[in-house]
Chains A and B, each alone.
Chain A
Amino acid sequence: MNDIAQKNHAHGNPRNFWRLYVFSTDHKVIAKQYLGLALFWALLGGFTAYLIRWQIAHPDTEAWGWGFIEPGVYNALVTMHGTIMVFFVAMPLLLAVFGNFLIPLMIGARDMAFPRLNMLSVWIFALASIVLITSFFVPGGAPAAGWTGYPPLSAKNEYTGGGYGVDLWLVALALEFASFLLGGVNFLTTAMNLRAPGMTWLRLPVLVWMQLIAAVVFMLSVGPIIAGAVLLLMDRNLGTTFYAPAGGGDPLLWQHLFWFFGHPEVYVILLPGFGIILEVLAVFARKPVFAYRPIIYASMVAGLLSFIVWAHHQYLSGMDPRLAMPFSITTIIISVPFGLVVLSIIATLWGSSMSFQTPMLFALGSLGVFIFGGLTGIFNGSAPVDIYIHDTYFVVAHFHYTLISNVFFAGFAGLYYWFPKMFGRMMNEALGKIHFWLTFIFFNAVFGPMHLVGVGGMMRRISNPTQYDFLKPVEPLNMFITLMAILLLVSQLAFVINFLWSLLAGKVATANPWRSNTLEWTTSSPPPHENFAATPVVHRGAYEYSVPHAQDDWLPQDFDSDKASKAALP
């Protein structure tokens, strides 16, 4: 028997401020540290989005609250917006916050398998954050080679006008990868070894499965980009020629290494988002997750397939055209398992008894937005069509539909849903609904028309579309989008105010305000340091909702029907 948890908690219950809140090995505290960092980066990332949209709609004018945006600065904004949102918001929020907080609780464990490694992970991530922030302040400013950092643009400073920016970017990313690698090791070992008695693999909540599959996909895909980043650092600083044709190298090598990781990475972000959606939908529809096992197998298949689609990002890169067809085929194939998951989600709702509180609204919104984004993915994935829309705003619209649906809509669903468990208070429901509707309406107002801008021919990453005559028709669209974007960003105030106010003065939460079956709701809100007063014993799967002839419409995983009456339940 593995009493890892006992060994690691031999320190007893820490009492002083530093051990409790700063140098904590408690997975719940670590999750909140990630949350604080992710929300900070989200605000910064949102601000870069505002400046980008301002420049596009009103080029070469002074943005409110900032000033004039030079083209070099614009490139840096675009680079940092992508880098921040993918690596410093999406990954920490969806994987580190929810994974860290929920995995031990959902499997009935006291903490992660390696609590000190967990603390190391969040501190490495904090260090990565500091390194990236520093890049704003060095001579030459923040990196400006795009979040994809293609050489030769990223390999030679004279092309971007930068200095140490790209080097700091590479180091920050390397640290971030190290942090999540360690986290992945922790998640997988914890789920393998620390499940409570009775918690078989197939009784795990879907969210845990999704986190595990995402961890495996991340760990297996990140290697080549680490290699590539080392090579780029060497090209920039040691005069090597990995990516320089004059020296025998090839810029295409970076692209392959980057996207071999980059594509699985978006599914690493996507799968935990699906996990959140499924948990929330099951609870608020009072219905079991439809096709639980097929969803898990389909997600594994999707994770596997994600490794053989990467070159669909490179159809126009000068890559060998013979690769276009095989990668188009694999890209179309990968829509099959995702289709299965999406249809299963819809089937979960069919004939259910839905109640539309804020978490449910965000989960439903996420589903709708994702479906639309997934459909435009089919256009992008087919080489003949992609020839026309690659590097246009059509692609930008596509990935914002798929990413924002997961990172923000599903992320908000998760935050509103698990806020009571994390902080012991309820968030304000009215403000939550306002937040949802404003976000949903303005999001679609921003990114819906953006497809038209893309099809109209506007290229990505240009700082002044008005200098091109052929882009005159999309000017009004761009101005409309910018206005909607500003309103979208301002709407997030509803969340910020709600979050902060509820932390301090929200209604005190009971153990299980949502009447959910999973194990985290059987303990207090927030849970004590050791999570559970006694080891849970699991008797059934996570989705026994609306069981026919049952006394109630829910049946917790650990409830022993042979024992005490239901009156004991919260």
Chain B
Amino acid sequence: MVTNARTMDGSLEPAGKAGTWWFLSSEIPTFGGLLVSYIVLRLGGSGWAEASSHLNLNIALANTFLLLTSSMTIVMAHAAVQENDHKRAAKFLALTVLLGLSFLIMKALEYGVEIRHGFLPGSGIFWSFYYGMTGLHALHVFAGIIVNLVLCIQAARGSLAPNGHRIELAGLYWHFVDIVWIFLFPLLYLA
């Protein structure tokens, strides 16, 4: 026998979507706490702008475009699934994965340049935050890439069919990661 999942007031969020948003609600204070710490320590400290000037704005700009575009491609994948075009969804997911990987590769190259110039996590408070925030963000990007890759393979094979809504959920997480970068970029590179 099966339990009917019906609520008297009628309003029902699909379980996966509600669950994903609840998860994001815990991620917001995590990155929020990190960014708040950066902001208050920076406003009260000195020498941060000088340290920031050693960062490579061009790489960061490229990364910003990569991530923004990947947000678009993943929501295009979601639109494709809504039209039942799983092949097109797979293509857009593949693009998203590629863009995400490019972001990580650029980040790794950027870290390499900075380390070669002697800017390590222990080189000062700005660098501590730089590596901490972008590192945690990169880990989140990596996790997102894995999820997107799995969904991409499933969509390409046609085995995604009953769970197409999962692309929207993966998208929600991916957009969140993009939004974090939207704030990291100016905080670290432009301010």
Which residues of A approach B to under 8 Å, CB–CB? 1-6, 108-110, 113-114, 181, 184-186, 188-189, 192-201, 219-228, 230-231, 234-235, 238-242, 247-250, 253, 257, 260, 530-535
Q: Which residues of B contact A235 (CB under 8 A)?
A: 128
Distance to closest chain A CB from B180 (angstroms): 12
- The verdict on A194 contacting B30 (CB below 8 Å), with A113-B15, A241-B122, A242-B125 known, is no
Q: Complex: how many Å from CA A241 to CA B130? A: 12
**Contact string, B6-23, partner A, CB cutoff 8 A, digits 1/0?**
111100111100110011
Most buried by A among B3, B15, B27, B129: B3
Instruction: Look across to chain B and name the residue whose beta carbon is closest to the beta carbon of A248.
Output: B125
Contact B8 A248 (CB under 8 A): no
Contact A238 B131 (CB under 8 A): yes
Contact A220 B9 (CB under 8 A): no
Contact B19 A114 (CB under 8 A): yes
Q: Which residues of A contact B4 (CB under 8 A)?
A: 1, 3, 196-197, 535
Q: Which residues of B contact A533 (CB under 8 A)?
A: 1
Contact B128 A227 (CB under 8 A): no
Instruction: Look across to chain B and name the residue whose beta carbon is closest to the beta carbon of A243.
Output: B128
Q: Which of B6, B18, B26, B32 is within 8 Å of A197, CB to CB?
A: B6
Q: Complex: how many Å from CA A247 to CA B48? A: 12
Q: Which residues of A contact B13 (CB under 8 A)?
A: 192-193
- The verdict on A200 contacting B22 (CB below 8 Å), with A240-B121, A240-B122 known, is no
Q: Which of A6, A197, A226, A250 is within 8 Å of B30, CB to CB?
A: A226
Q: Which of A110, A224, A239, A253 is within 8 Å of B121, CB to CB?
A: A239
Interface size class of B (residues with CB under 8 A): 35 or more
Q: Which residues of B contact A231 (CB under 8 A)?
A: 34, 37, 128, 132
Most buried by A among B12, B28, B33: B33
Q: Complex: how many Å from CA A194 to CA B13? A: 11
Contact A108 B3 (CB under 8 A): yes
Contact B128 A223 (CB under 8 A): no
B179 located at the interface, meaning its Cβ lies under 8 Å from any Cβ of chain A in the complex: no
Most buried by B among A181, A193, A534: A193
B120 located at the interface, meaning its Cβ lies under 8 Å from any Cβ of chain A in the complex: yes
Given contacts A196-B4, A222-B30, A227-B34, 11 further A-B contacts (CB under 8 A): A193-B7, A195-B6, A196-B3, A197-B6, A221-B29, A223-B29, A231-B128, A239-B120, A247-B128, A532-B3, A533-B1
Contact A2 B132 (CB under 8 A): no
B191 located at the interface, meaning its Cβ lies under 8 Å from any Cβ of chain A in the complex: no
Instruction: Look across to chain A and name the residue whose beta carbon is closest to the beta carbon of B34.
Output: A227
Most buried by A among B15, B27, B132: B15
Contact B5 A234 (CB under 8 A): no
Q: Which of B9, B28, B125 is within 8 Å of A200, CB to CB?
A: B9
Contact B124 A241 (CB under 8 A): yes
Q: Complex: how many Å from CA A1 to CA B125? A: 53
Contact A189 B37 (CB under 8 A): no
| Total A-B Cβ pairs within 8 A | 166
Which residues of B approach A to under 8 Å, CB–CB? 1-9, 12-15, 18-19, 22-23, 25-34, 36-37, 41, 45, 47, 120-122, 124-129, 131-132, 136
- The verdict on A240 contacting B132 (CB below 8 Å), with A1-B5, A196-B4, A227-B33 known, is yes
Most buried by A among B18, B29, B47: B29
Contact A224 B45 (CB under 8 A): no
Q: Complex: how many Å from CA A241 to CA B9? A: 52
Task: Please name 27 pairs of A and B residues whose Cβ atoms are closer than 8 Å in the assembled complex, sorted by A.
Answer: A108-B3, A184-B22, A184-B26, A188-B19, A188-B22, A189-B15, A189-B18, A193-B12, A195-B5, A195-B6, A219-B26, A221-B29, A223-B27, A223-B28, A223-B30, A223-B31, A226-B33, A227-B31, A227-B33, A227-B37, A228-B33, A242-B129, A248-B47, A248-B125, A249-B41, A249-B125, A530-B3
Contact B33 A199 (CB under 8 A): no
Distance to closest chain B CB from A491 (angstroms): 39
Q: Complex: how many Å from CA A486 to CA B83? A: 69
Q: Which of A109, A194, A247, A253 is within 8 Å of B124, CB to CB?
A: A247
Instruction: Look across to chain A and name the residue whose beta carbon is closest to the beta carbon of B7.
Output: A195
Contact B23 A223 (CB under 8 A): no
Contact B26 A234 (CB under 8 A): no
Contact B37 A257 (CB under 8 A): yes
Contact B26 A220 (CB under 8 A): yes
Contact A222 B5 (CB under 8 A): no
Q: Which residues of B contact A248 (CB under 8 A)?
A: 41, 45, 47, 124-126
Q: Which residues of A contact B1 (CB under 8 A)?
A: 530, 532-535
Q: Complex: how many Å from CA A3 to CA B9? A: 17
Instruction: Look across to chain B and name the residue whose beta carbon is closest to the beta carbon of A6.
Output: B2
Instruction: Look across to chain B and name the residue whose beta carbon is closest to the beta carbon of A180.
Output: B26
Distance to closest chain B CB from A13 (angstroms): 12
Distance to closest chain A CB from B72 (angstroms): 27
Contact A2 B15 (CB under 8 A): yes
Q: Complex: how many Å from CA A65 to CA B166? A: 56
Q: Which residues of A contact B23 (CB under 8 A)?
A: 181, 185
